[in-house]
Amino acid sequence: MTVLDARGLLCPLPVLRLRKQLLALPQGAIVRLIATDRMAMVDVPHFCEQAGHVMVGTRDLGDGALEFTVRRGPSVPQAEGLVTPEDS
């Protein structure tokens, strides 16, 4: 399991870092994203739905951080407007 610490980063950086990490992993791999930006509660599930990944779970770590557990989906569609790995 990969842990991605995005504490202190503001939208959209946590999701962009998550996307980049998922692209580097095989289907079924699990990534734990830790973020302090409250917009991640909206952004991460939306990203997973749009990109074909599975939101396994979310929990509040109690210190202002949220933990998102995401399983890499079978493919990452190239949707219009999404940032490519070269952009981040």
Q: What whole-number distance in Å separates Cα of residue 66 and Cα of residue 88?
A: 22
Catalytic position from the list 9, 11, 30, 54: 11
Does the active-site annotation cover 48? no
Q: How long a stretch of residues is the chain?
A: 88
19: its two tokens: 């996307």
CA neighbor of 21 nearest in space, from 64, 71, 55: 71
- What are the residue numbers of the active site? 11
